[in-house]
Amino acid sequence: MASKEKTQKDGLLRAISTDGTIRAVIATTTNLVSEARERHELSFTATAALGRALTAGVLLAPMLLRDGQVALKFHGNGPLGRMMIDASPRGTVRGYVEHPKVELPLNSLGNFDVGSAVGRRGYLHVTIDSGFGAPHTSTVELASGEIGEDVNRYLVTSDQTGSLVVVGVHLTSRGVEAAGGLLVQLLPDHTEETICKIENNITTFGTFTFLMRRGMSLENILQRILAGFEVRPLADVMPIRFHCKCSEDRFVEALKVLPAGELLSMAEEDGQAEGRCQFCNELYLVKKERLLDLAKGQ
């Protein structure tokens, strides 16, 4: 459904400093944000918002889990409405925004006004499902609606440790030209100067998407933003992609719980059943004959 022809592959890299002060997750997400934009027919503002949220999910999942899923639900008072993200530490992520056509003027800095679109009042709900026991949900008030600051507030509140979250989407009339982000979490041996040094690096060397548009690799961007720290990767670069768990079989299974009379009504009046996945906007059609078979099996 979406174009796959991009010059750079999306990827994620996990790293730790040799002095034990920080651990980091860095990712490029240009392709998956572009695919989300096409799938959901997003406005420019909605692309910037959902793209940042998708990137945040990609960064959070391997930081919080070895396996399972992490779900982010942004529910602010802005016109975009609810925004849902579902990510795994295996490099897959999906998501949607309730009102994908919302467009707002640029803010005073000339950037997409994600804060106003999401809303500066509301909540971020983070649900961690490790696959063992009941999922755990934490809720924090939105910090600004700008996504990165909101996720950072969640990390500081839930883990009681300092962190820095940078997520960005560079979007032009040609489409999504760069998207990605960085999550840095402070370890017990950090000093008060650790985050200041990283923030100064970002100010000096440019934003994450600026470095991406210069053609820098994940490893080079990591070294640039974390200049002054000796860091080593924890594994090879992991591919990441927009991936949804929906399927026609799952849609059919959902239809099986409906009463036979309702299935017959769909078959006779509409000639088919239609379902659309919120997360990926994929459309599924079940024809009349299949509906009749399902009704007979009740």
Instruction: Specify the CATH number for the domain of residue 290.
Output: 3.90.1280.10
117 and 252 part of one domain = no
Position 127 scores a pLDDT of 97
User: Which structural domain, as residue segments, surrounds residue 170?
Assistant: 11-242
Listed in sequence order, the residues at least 6 apart from 111 whose beta carbon sits closer than 8 Å to its beta carbon are none
Domain boundary among 217, 242, 267: 242
Q: Within a domain: residue 115?
A: yes
What pLDDT is stored for residue 7 in this prediction?
52
In a domain, 177, yes or no: yes
Q: Is residue 3 part of a domain?
A: no
The verdict on 22 and 133 lying in the same domain is yes
**pLDDT recorded at residue 2:** 42
Residues 280, 227 within the same domain: no
For residues 211 and 220, what is the distance between their CA atoms, to the nearest angstrom? 9
For residue 170 the two structure tokens come to 């560079």
Domain presence at residue 180: yes
Q: Are 254 and 106 members of one domain? A: no
Can you read off the two tokens belonging to residue 130? 């490790």
CB 208 within 8 A of CB 221: yes
Number of domains the chain is built from: 2
Query: Would 121 be classed as within a structural domain?
Result: yes
Residue 198 and residue 56 share a domain: yes
Please give the pLDDT value at position 5. Answer: 41
Query: Which are the contacts of 15, defined by CB distance < 8 A and separation ≥ 6?
Result: 23, 24, 25, 26, 222, 226, 231, 232, 233, 234
Residue 30 in tokens: 């240009």
- Whether 137 and 85 map to the same domain: the answer is yes
Does residue 257 share a domain with residue 185? no
Q: Are residues 89 and 43 in the same domain?
A: yes
d(CA 5, CA 59): 24
Q: Which CATH number characterizes residue 153's domain?
A: 3.55.30.10
**pTM listed for this prediction:** 0.92
Note whether residue 2 is domain-resident: no
Ordered mean pLDDT values, 10 residues apiece, the chain (298 residues): 57 93 94 98 98 98 93 98 97 98 94 97 96 92 96 90 91 95 88 83 86 91 91 94 94 92 91 94 94 85
Residue 185 sits in the same domain as residue 42: yes
104 inside domain: yes
Say if residue 274 is in the same domain as residue 145.
no
